[in-house]
Structure 1
């Protein structure tokens, strides 16, 4: 679920979320859509391909662990993800979404990059300290360290992808994801086949991701930013502080989102152990993979949603929202149907009969996934509209519901209880985002009343408002 700086008078939703102005005129200024950018449908397809590659690579790594190791090993990997994710999600501050929706170039790209590098180092160190304080040693600690390093590299690549996304070049983002997935899986498979454990496989994947970052992501970012100079960090502490203050609500939201996903896992590991956690995590990863597909559509639509909202263009904003929600609904319905009709066969094929015996849990997970897809689509919309701070109390409510439900159901029902607790949380999240969407539309209506039909092109690059509806979404 997962927005950029812009001037308050250009962005109606920022009446709720005021943006401090940077200290200097930006050198990097996003341009309107131009030749070389992708259409919305092409961008969505590329983003879907990239998300499929990323999700597929992570999921196939779990498949490798499930087939070549014991469920306990899968559980240790899930534990490593659960321990490292909260700090990383908080400190990433959702800067990619901020860059992609920075319709007026309020900050330099070097500012985004500098802040991301600083927070990434904090997140990496924090994850290792927490793992040590919790008493993890040996192979489990090594696995946690490998996962934390991989997430740190992903964080750097993510902010570079934000520049590509802002310029609507999701084809390059997807190419990077495909390279990392292919190389990472080949490296992990070689290590596991050679007798190595999950920690060694994770380290191999992190090393190959670093190779793609150096040889592809950085050169492509320099090209879209028209020079490698934009990739040099600039420690303008006043501007970095302003950017961090703007982004902090989204960072807190992502921390809460991570906790919402992982709290049921903490309860499972504490009460049932690594084996039950491994089974639940393998089943629940389908939800993560589906959410990445929904996020792909959101990534493609975010720059246009942000420009439409900044210009008060309800005639563009609302159809884009409808398109995004339709994608999420189709994904959810399809997932539930597949789990109910073919769940046992799918789980046998993908994992082992041990996992296939839990088809009923799989169906519960996919019902929760369907609700989460709709909530995720609405989350992308309200983030593009800059309704940011209100997401924090909503996520706190979702976390509270998920925690209480996990405490009530996981001790007695294991993975089934975790799936039910997650579903309850997603229902609260969907209702809250629906209310925030209404709030965004109200702000858009106020902006539209102040827009004249004869106005010139705006900062977002849209033509003047006209009486005839625009041509399709492509």
Structure 2
């Protein structure tokens, strides 16, 4: 029998707490690496994320959202799971093969491989979260994320403190996250929803159908990751790993907020999917609330950056980051448009209009690419943030237009 469906307020509360805690843990990793090692190691960790994220995001294809909006049960969970297992294993294989091509020293390659392994484990957890989300039981998602966040904090504090090894820290993180998948996520799927994971079945026809259906979201998520990481690639090339470490540390303050936005979007997507079919006014009202919350969060971050920028950077990181207040302010301006377009993206996913994601993300990625090439060699970190800001502004405008169009059409896409 299915677990009890939580109220929207309870789901919001669970997601709020877990989103903040998980975002804190991700920031904490950057912070503890900066405090216990140096900016170059932060840059290496950031580079490993930048290399592996596009691969995993493309082959993950945002399957969690597809499951969450599958309110009519078009595909069984076992088929979704084996589809995710195969595509995630492909991503891990591609990441491993890429290491034989990249001109990095062995230490760099090991770090990148372990980051890829952590992401592989995360994708297995993610597909279970899609089912929890569909059933509007975000408590399970929240507890799973909190376990992973807590283990990350413990691992990077203890292991990095005693061994000074980023490799060992990542290895212990991978093992701890795998334990969460095996002994929490899988058990909840089996016990509370009576769904099979050990004996999944998926024929070639169904796999091909899911691939065709999901690939637009895979392309969109890859472009999204590429868009976020493009400035990092050019900073690394033109200004070096230390400058990349400074940029990564400051920009992660914005990324932490986006993690919170994504968490809130997960609560609303199943409800938006239902509203889009049954109650268009409720759909529009919920979007309005989401946009206001995103705008408020971004503005608060901007005000705090203006008033206490250097103090925050010195407290969160180290003295190396003092003097970059203007970069932090630009980052927080960027966050306003990023947060709002994140909620608009959730509204579009709820309509299951997956193909429209491609032109939205492609346009923002292209403008960021062009401006990164033009501005970073001249203005370094300021140029990087301005390029990113331009891309997110365009994405917000394009997304708002497409949501309005979807409301006018009000036609459910299967």
Give TM class, smaller chain: over 0.9
Would you say the 8 A contact 1:164–1:224 is kept in 2?
A: no
Tell me how far 1:314 sits from its aligned partner: 1.0
Q: TM-score, normalised by structure 1?
A: 0.85
In the alignment, which residue of structure 1 is the partner of 2:275?
A: 308
- Of 64, 70, 88, 1:102 maps to 70
Larger Rg: 1
Name the residue aligned to 1:242. 209
Residue 189 (structure 2) aligns with: 221
Distance in 2 (alpha carbons) for counterparts of 1:131 and 1:372: 32
Q: What is the aligned partner in structure 1 of residue 228 from structure 2?
A: 261
Greater helix content? 2
CA-based RMSD of the aligned residues comes to 1.5
Query: Residue 161 of structure 2 corresponds to which residue in structure 1?
Result: 193
- Paired residue for 1:395, among 361, 367, 378? 361
Q: Distance in 2 between matches of 1:132 and 1:62?
A: 27
Structure 1 CA distance for aligned equivalents of residues 335 and 142 of structure 2 = 23
- 1:82-93 residue pairs with structure 2 within 5 A? 82-93=50-61
Structure 1 Cα separation of the partners of residues 277 and 179 of structure 2: 38
| Structure-2 separation of matches of 1:151 and 1:137 | 22
Q: 1: CA distance between counterparts of 2:270 and 2:360?
A: 24
Of the candidates 205, 208, 230, which is equivalent to residue 173 of structure 2? 205
Q: What TM-score, normalized to structure 2?
A: 0.96
| 1:376 corresponds to | 342
- Give the C-alpha shift of residue 225 in structure 1: 2.0
User: Is the CA contact 1:111–1:234 (under 8 Å) kept in the aligned structure 2?
Assistant: yes
Counterpart of 1:467 in structure 2 is none
- 1:38 is matched with 6
* 2:75 counterpart SS class: coil
Preserved CA contact (<8 Å) 1:268 1:414: yes
- Quote how far apart the aligned CAs of 1:61 are: 0.8
Question: Residue in 2 aligned with 1:361?
Answer: 327
Alignment match of 2:244 (pick from 274, 277, 284): 277
Q: Take 2:275 and 2:198, find their aligned partners in 1: how far apart are those partners?
A: 29
In the other structure, the counterpart of 1:157 is 125
**Structure 2: distance between partners of 1:145 and 1:406:** 27
Runs ≥4 residues deviating over 4 A: none
Does the CA-based 8 Å contact 1:308-1:314 persist in structure 2?
Answer: yes
- Residues 143 and 200 in structure 1, CA contact (< 8 A), matched pair in contact too: no
The alpha-carbon deviation at position 237 of structure 1 amounts to 1.6
Q: Distance in 2 between matches of 1:437 and 1:42?
A: 27
Alpha-carbon offset, residue 316 of structure 1: 1.9
Q: Give a deviation string over 1:49-106, Cα, whole Å, max 9, x none.
A: 2222222111101111010001000000000000000100000010000111111001
| Cross-structure match for 1:79 | 47
Deviation at 1:413, TM superposition (A): 1.7
CA contact (8 A) 1:165 1:300 kept: yes
Q: What's the counterpart of residue 68 of structure 1? A: 36
Instruction: Give secondary structure in 2 for the equivalent of 1:123.
Output: helix
What does residue 54 of structure 1 align with?
Answer: 22
CA gap 1:231/1:317 in 2 versus in 1, 3 angstroms = farther
Question: Offset of 1:192 from its aligned partner?
Answer: 1.0
Q: Distance in 1 between matches of 2:102 and 2:332?
A: 32
Q: Indicate which of 103, 120, 129 corresponds to 2:97.
A: 129
CA distance in 1, matches of 2:66, 2:56: 17
